[in-house]
Structure 1
């Protein structure tokens, strides 16, 4: 156990180590929505004082991954399914406009960067590790955003991608169980090809379809009741 602890601590120290470990476990749903995060227990687990744990939790609260309650308790942020349709509307607009701009403005260097991120995503899909998949997915879409040459839109898009990573974990799980997992990489490949051809209209349509599939798969996942025991609110009707 001591060797394992030392190996984990080697990845970072203090608040950074606590932050990265807790964040990864929240994104992977190892720490479920609504779960209590006890500073003392976490400090004992990581072999450190409560101060760096507290610092890590404050940082996570700033990213809306944890909620600090008035009674000084901290919980993993619930997933608000009622707000999900509005979230998807915002994600859809951001995804479409960034992908359109990339198709219009991309350079050859941008294409190489997007293609490299796509290969990384394919490798992550083959690994079957959802946390690696969500990280690679974000890098792919941010490479597209960077090709669009609008830092304000890219920043907004990045925030939305971060906010949706726990739901994306459920999306990956559902898609792998019910459909051919290659669909994940096929969609990205089609987006890359539209950007390569400077086909703005097709890039827009593919980005829109990509978001809608994410939305529909999440609610299909919810209908299977696999989220029982998690702090999930009932979904609002979709139009």
Structure 2
């Protein structure tokens, strides 16, 4: 079985597990659903952004002022982290006046994510965009759904070789404002050295954006893991 087939088989098994429960178990209860996905993922070695890292990310998101209203995610998979982002943005804004856009290459995984997001009661504000992340990003910008200076948070958690090119596309489109945050998973393992070198250098490719970056530790199953948090301090 290929890696793609394994990932999609796990997504299907998760979907069946969640929807085998009575409908009111998770309907409109995003944090209960995130916890259930987390438990299933831990038991089945699924590559999801798990609870402890969500918690440290939540603390970083809560620091953003004014409260973030536009969140983009590179790597949606089954939608578990997107559900968490939606729940967090609902908490910090006190309303549903926000949007989360999560990019997922696999149509199969995107359909799973949409079902779970709807179950969580976030279907109106958390949007799954199918296709390559770079094309999805450009498409949203051309449609006017993403605007210059309009992205408050970006989360990068797809294939590590695309971390830096996708960050630089955000810069080229002028999506960040002063105070925008970029969260990146898996920079310690399996690692994204080109991305880390870039954000730690502090200055973007064209010299028109400056970052302050920090490696934040979260407890993992076997060892602590890292969420790299980069804040735009000049744009």
Tell me if both proteins adopt one fold, taking TM over 0.5 as the criterion.
Answer: no
Rg comparison, structure with higher value: 1
Where on the TM-score scale, by shorter chain, does this alignment land: which range?
Answer: under 0.3
Which has the larger share of helix?
Answer: 1
TM-score (norm 1): 0.25
Higher strand share: 2
Q: TM-score, normalised by structure 2?
A: 0.25
